[in-house]
Amino acid sequence: MPTPDSYDYAVVRVVPRVERGEFINVGIILWCASQDYLDARIELDEQRLRALDPTVNIEAVRSHLASIPRVCAGGPGAGPIGALSRRERFDWLVAPRSTIIQVSPVHTGRCTDVATTLEHLLNVMVRC
């Protein structure tokens, strides 16, 4: 049986009205150093978001969220951040922010299959 690897992850949140502190979980960013793996999955439930703020600019939220997987992938499509190492991109993505798109504190786990773990985290933390 393969030895489990450590991984770090954060939950991506949309906070439509920062002053209220209400949010919905919309994605997961997962980094595994031993497998040199960095990926993010985003699933925005627009109906739930509009329940928190009917006036939220959904197009702007979608645009900002779409940048997260691009930064994970790296390369020119991610702008200057795309030239950083995977670890540096993860650190940049999970840095605290006080904007409409925020992330949870970083959590750690162990797994043998990071793609399956990412899917599991989406099921537990994001999907209803």
pLDDT tens by residue, 60-100: 999 999 999 999 999 999 999 999 999 999 999 999 988 99
pTM: 0.95
Q: In this predicted structure, what is the pLDDT of residue 79?
A: 94
Specify whether the CB–CB gap between 42 and 118 falls below 8 A. Answer: no
Q: How much is the average pLDDT of 41-52? A: 97
Q: Kind and range of the H or E element at 47? A: helix 46-52
Specify whether the CB–CB gap between 21 and 127 falls below 8 A. Answer: no
Q: In this predicted structure, what is the pLDDT of residue 2?
A: 83
Specify whether the CB–CB gap between 45 and 24 falls below 8 A. Answer: yes
Domain ranges of the chain: 5-126
